[in-house]
Amino acid sequence: MEILESTLLIFAGIAAGFINTLAGNGSLITLTILLEFIGLPALTANGTNRVGIFFHSIITSYSMQQSHAMNMGHAKRILPIMFIGGICGGVLSVIVSPEQFKFVYRFLLIALFITLFINPKKWLEPERFSKKLPPYIKAFILFCVGVYGGFIQMGMGIVLLAVLVLFYQIPLLQANTIKLFSVLVYTPIVFAILIFHDLVNWHYGLLLAAGQIIGGWITARYISRWKHANHLAYILLLIMVSAALIKIFLFP
CA distance 215 to 250: 31
What are the φ/ψ torsions at residue 85 (nearest 5 degrees)?
Answer: -65, -40
* CB proximity list for 41: less than 8 A, separation 6 or greater: 98
Residue 14 is inside which H or E element, if any?
helix 2-22
CB of 92 closer than 8 Å to CB of 153? no
Read off the pTM. Answer: 0.78
pLDDT one digit per residue (tens) for the chain, 252 residues: 588 888 999 998 988 887 776 656 778 889 888 988 898 999 999 999 999 888 877 776 666 656 555 667 778 889 999 999 999 999 999 999 988 888 888 888 787 777 666 655 554 444 444 557 788 899 999 999 999 999 988 878 777 877 887 788 787 667 777 887 888 899 999 999 999 999 999 999 999 999 988 887 777 676 656 666 666 666 766 776 777 677 667 655
Q: Using alpha carbons only, what angle is made at residue 63 by residues 144 and 83, rounded to the nearest 5 degrees?
A: 20
3-state secondary structure of 120: coil
What is the domain range of residue 61?
2-250
Number of domains in the chain: 1
Give the chain's end-to-end CA distance (angstroms, integer). 20
The closest of 182, 181, 179 to 162, measured between CA atoms, is: 179
Burial class of residue 160, CB neighbours in 10 A (0-12, 13-18, 19+) = buried
